[in-house]
Structure 1
Amino acid sequence: MIVDRGRPAWLTWTVRAVAAAGLLVVLWACLTAWGAVVHGHPAYAVLLGLTVLGCGWALWPGRRPRPTRPAGRRVLDVALVVAGLVWIAAMAWLRPFTAVEPALTAMYSDESVTVTESATRVVLAPAGDSDGEAAEDTASDGDAAGTAVFFRPGAKVEARAYAAVLRPLAEAGHTVVIAKQPLAVAFLAGGAFDAARAEVPAAERWVVGGHSLGGVVASTDAAGAADDAGAPAVGLLLYASYPAEDLSSLTPAVESVSASRDGLATPATIEASRANLPPSTTYTVVGGAVHAFFGDYGPQPGDGTATITHDEARSRISEVSRAFVDSLGR
């Protein structure tokens, strides 16, 4: 391997160490979250690819040594090393939570639900209407009328993780669209709700929902579409979440589902958020559940300790969600 004579030896080896660390982070992310890398929004996969290219270039043994550089250029080299460390740390932090069972099984189509997946969304559509039409035709032709559901995942959680908890809504006759968000961050998918409405143009009304950070952005979606003349938002479904602004005058109905053992959106935080929601909001607390029980993606750092099973919590969350959406029209 050639040593760059234009750099001090310590800087050359630092660059190589940082590049090697970057490749290790990419390898770790792929080994531990491959499903989310492949099935999530492509933005994270693209950034991982760019990381490999950058680190490979830094380690490439065939690069010619450069002539001695002025001190100012060395300062720039150090700055680039620091920037590289920040980039690699961001890639590690952004590693998504990968969907696990039973969400993976819920991603398969059967006689009651048709599941379709694209780069930006997962769609769970009823398998047929009252006339027995196939759900695949419904999903592609936009014939699914009634109340549809648009759902935003929590931060760094891939969309498939919510398939099991939301599938009962599709079984009850509601088309469910789960957004795949860039880097699995809801704030980076501002137009996702409008895109979902274009995907199901025949839907007469929408319930907008979200988990954790996804619920924060979903609250804004609901407020913005409440007065829509075509397909308004008639409901807001919050999973362990609350709005970041005062929505006490919001016209859509609101259902807030939280967990008594949540270590992130704690019961105290949910209670404090009541002032930002309409007085008519319905609150359901799932006793013994934790933050990660609103999806199927494994344990989450900082969460509480559950005193009920995940299956029990999921069943209760699905039941409450289905009843709420049903109450707003089928």
Structure 2
Amino acid sequence: MTAERRRPRSRARRVVSFAVLTVVGLLVAGVVGIVIWSQVGVMDAEAGAWDEVRQDDRIAISDTGGNVVLSRAEGESEIGLVFVPGAKVQAEAYAAKLSELVTEGAMAVVITRPWLNLAFFDPRPLSAFTDAVPDVDTWLVGGHSLGGVRACQLSGDADGLVLFASYCSNDVSDSGLPVLSISGSEDGLSTPEKIRDAAPLLPADAEFVEVPGAAHASFGDYGPQAGDGTPSIEDADMTAEITASVAGLLPRL
């Protein structure tokens, strides 16, 4: 009788152990799959645009805390921008388009390198990036595409929010923050319709700038992007549009 009673328990233990091992195996496979996927298809910065920034003697470039930091080579900055890249886009790909915020706007710019190249997997607070330029007290947070969605989540610790071809998934309409949304008329991903549909999640006084001829990839220098529209704006003009739009927000800080 004793042996007969033990057999069912032994079988039950084996079944439970097998189920646990199966679940653990699936979790490990899932994590490994995400890591591999996050490294495949990363859109690198175009060499020419990045080289121009590195050769500009008005800009000091550093890799501080794993971030690309653009600051004034001479003089201090009073305002900074933490910029979160779009999914699987190299941080350096945004340096050229943001460079005039440094040279013309006297700002400091911190371009983050999200964990696994995806901002959603990066739980770090805003302070993890603003600490890269400790002398700056006033900070905007912004981002491109999915990076902008993450910027919205970080905006509670910022002095202002800037969306670059992006929109919020969380409601910041009662935040009281100065908000700027810059988008492109030819964007095939963050389309003008999507920007309009998500507008109620922003404060009523949010500013909207739609750049004629700009596509989704016009906000960086990483080449064409699948599903995007066809841009007709020159890179220099796009950089000027971004610089002027952000400058228009600064008096509200």
1:122 aligns with 68
Q: 1:165-212, CA deviations, whole angstroms, 9 ceiling, x for partnerless residues? A: 111111121111110111211122221521122222221210111001
Question: Secondary structure of the residue that 1:320 maps to in structure 2?
Answer: helix
Closer/same/farther in 2, CA of residues 85 and 189 from structure 1, 3 Å limit: closer
1:173 maps to 2:106:
yes
Distance in 2, Cα, partners of 1:278 & 1:105 = 38
1:202 maps to 2:202:
no
Give yes or no for contact 2:168–2:198 (8 Å, CA) kept in 1. yes
Distance in 2, Cα, partners of 1:250 & 1:85 = 37
1:318 maps to 2:251:
no
Give yes or no for contact 1:168–1:322 (8 Å, CA) kept in 2. no
Distance in 1, Cα, partners of 2:200 & 2:184 = 19
Distance in 2, Cα, partners of 1:156 & 1:211 = 11
How many residues get paired?
Answer: 232
Question: Secondary structure of the residue that 1:199 maps to in structure 2?
Answer: coil
Closer/same/farther in 2, CA of residues 192 and 180 from structure 1, 3 Å limit: farther
Question: What's the offset of the Cα at 1:149?
Answer: 1.0
Question: Secondary structure of the residue that 2:68 maps to in structure 1?
Answer: strand
Distance in 1, Cα, partners of 2:125 & 2:218 = 24
Question: Secondary structure of the residue that 1:104 maps to in structure 2?
Answer: helix
Distance in 1, Cα, partners of 2:221 & 2:194 = 23
Among the aligned pairs, what percent are the same residue?
Answer: 36
Question: What's the offset of the Cα at 1:289?
Answer: 1.1
Question: What's the offset of the Cα at 1:85?
Answer: 10
Give yes or no for contact 2:100–2:239 (8 Å, CA) kept in 1. no
Scaled by the length of structure 2, the TM-score of the pair is 0.81
Give yes or no for contact 1:106–1:163 (8 Å, CA) kept in 2. no
Pick one of 253, 259, 271 that aligns with 2:184: 259
1:218 maps to 2:151:
yes
1:16 aligns with none
Pick one of 280, 283, 287 that aligns with 2:208: 283
1:155 maps to 2:80:
no
Distance in 1, Cα, partners of 2:43 & 2:221 = 9
Question: Secondary structure of the residue that 1:103 maps to in structure 2?
Answer: helix
Scaled by the length of structure 1, the TM-score of the pair is 0.63
Distance in 2, Cα, partners of 1:86 & 1:249 = 37
Give yes or no for contact 2:62–2:69 (8 Å, CA) kept in 1. yes
Q: Which runs of 5+ in 1 are unaligned?
A: 1-72, 130-143, 226-232
Question: What's the offset of the Cα at 1:245?
Answer: 1.5
